[in-house]
Amino acid sequence: MRGVSETQRVNQPGREEAVVRTGEHPVEHERPEDWGWHGETGKLGRIGAVIATLVLLSFLIGNHQGKVEDLYILGIVAVMIIIMILDWRRRRNAWRSR
């Protein structure tokens, strides 16, 4: 069983203090890749973006009488479509497609 005496608190500049084992050093920088994040969601993320866009477009059908909601929904959908087109172009022009 580990006791409190086997750990120590270490001050880190610009960060909160760390609790580490005696004789060890705290992690100074953790890369996102170490946790499995590489910056893309892959094919499922792109499929999810299309589905989310279609769901937002389905919100245009309803019993609301004002058109302000429609403008906001169409604006959000337009931004999502632009992001998907830019992502498609980036992947198409990349050295290796993901």
**Domain count of the fold of the chain:** 2
Query: Do 23 and 45 sit in the same domain of this protein?
Result: no
Dump pLDDT digits (tens) for 66-75.
889 999 999 9
The domain containing residue 54 runs over which residues?
40-93
Could you tell me if residue 98 is inside a domain? no
Could you tell me if residue 85 is inside a domain? yes
Query: Do 21 and 51 sit in the same domain of this protein?
Result: no
Could you tell me if residue 14 is inside a domain? yes
Dump pLDDT digits (tens) for 55-67.
999 999 988 888 8
Q: Which residues, in sequence order, are CB contacts of 5 under 8 Å at separation 6+? A: 22
Query: Do 45 and 89 sit in the same domain of this protein?
Result: yes
pTM over 0.75: no
Query: Do 55 and 85 sit in the same domain of this protein?
Result: yes
- DSSP letter for each residue of 26-88: --S---GGGGT--S--HHHHHHHHHHHHHHHHHTTSSS---SHHHHHHHHHHHHHHHHHHHHH
Backbone angles phi, psi at 96, to 5 degrees: -135, 135
Query: Do 29 and 44 sit in the same domain of this protein?
Result: no
